[in-house]
Amino acid sequence: MSIKVKIVNKSHHALPSYATAGSSGLDIKAFLSDPISILPLQRILVPTGLFVEIPNNFEIQIRPRSGLAIKQGITCLNTPGTIDADYRGEIKVILINLSNEPQTILDGDRIAQMVLQQVEKANWEEVMELENTARGEGGFGHTGKQ
């Protein structure tokens, strides 16, 4: 299935694309006038030059790139980041350097991937209590280490 999404590209880079036929995410690139150095544990907001008109009942999720994470220790914060259907500003990516060394982002570097997802809206039904399950309130590691 394919959904048409309107996009304005103010960068000089090609439109986001799927790296392989089986890819879920479209690679997006940094749109920078100068390289950015990210110190260890520093957060930065990286522009992409991309603006989208997401169809109603959809969102775009911004997710880290595994290669950037393992090779340079750079990942996305607020992951997955949600871009709502009514947002019309520039897509920007929050990156953090989790390595012990400064890392550099260059113009055109693939910094993240975006995934178009359908969104179901909740219709709350307020009740006095919930049905019991075998798990109950168990959470946060209640099943042990293994």
Domains of the chain as residue ranges with CATH: 23-118 (2.70.40.10)
pLDDT per position as a tens digit, 134-143: 888 877 776 7
Can you read off the two tokens belonging to residue 29? 């690139």
For the chain, the average pLDDT equals: 94
- The mean-pLDDT minimum among 4-8, 76-80, 112-116 falls in 76-80
Interacting residues of 52 by C-beta distance below 8 A, sequence separation 6+: 5, 6, 7, 8, 60, 83, 91
Answer whether 11's CB lies under 8 Å from 60's CB. Answer: no
pLDDT band of residue 75 (cuts 50, 70, 90) is very high
Structure-token match 């809206």, residue found: 121
Provide the pLDDT confidence category of residue 93 given band limits of 50, 70 and 90. very high
- The model's pTM is 0.88
| pLDDT tens for each residue of 25-34 | 999 999 999 9
pLDDT of residue 143: 74
Rounded to whole angstroms, the Cα distance separating 122 from 14 reads 37
